[in-house]
Amino acid sequence: MGETSRLTPVIHNITFDCTGDPYDVGLFWSALLGRPLDDDDKPGDPAALIRDPDGGPSLLFLRVPEGKSVKNRIHFDLRPRGCTRDEEVERALGLGARKVADHTRPDGTGWVLLADPEGNEFCVERGDAERAEKD
């Protein structure tokens, strides 16, 4: 299992379905992750793309007709760099995220569950400095 085959697929895009404008959802994630949307993306386009500068999967935002009806089965767990979990949560809320639940434990471990403007959930874990203090 350790050998990589040329026939093994790679993840090219991580796709977000959007009932609203994919550009607007892309702008939220662009600001949150500090990565720009593609230069040719504009409001009203049926898709928007954020490429990974290191060659990893891109984030693709696509307009779809149906709305989200259940909890995401896959989501991002974000670890802040250079700030605390609480500071990153506040920044995300300021960008348009919504707090869904706070799973922070008394010892500081845990996470905060947020949703982007389209309702896609993501978690914010402890930041690097907080991990170093506790570990």
**Residues 62 and 85 reside in one and the same domain:** no
Residue 27: closest CA among 7, 42, 11: 42
Q: What is the pLDDT of residue 116?
A: 96
Q: φ, ψ for residue 118 (rounded to 5)?
A: -95, -5
Q: What is the pLDDT of residue 134?
A: 64
**Residues 114 and 80 reside in one and the same domain:** yes
**Residues 111 and 60 reside in one and the same domain:** no
Output the tens digit of pLDDT for each of the chain's 135 residues. Answer: 556 667 888 899 999 999 999 999 999 999 999 999 999 999 999 999 999 999 999 999 999 998 888 777 889 999 999 999 999 999 999 999 999 999 999 998 999 999 999 999 999 999 988 887 765
Q: Which of 27, 45, 67 is the endpoint of a domain? A: 67
In this prediction the pTM is 0.86
**Residues 30 and 60 reside in one and the same domain:** yes
**Residues 24 and 58 reside in one and the same domain:** yes
Q: What is the pLDDT of residue 19?
A: 93
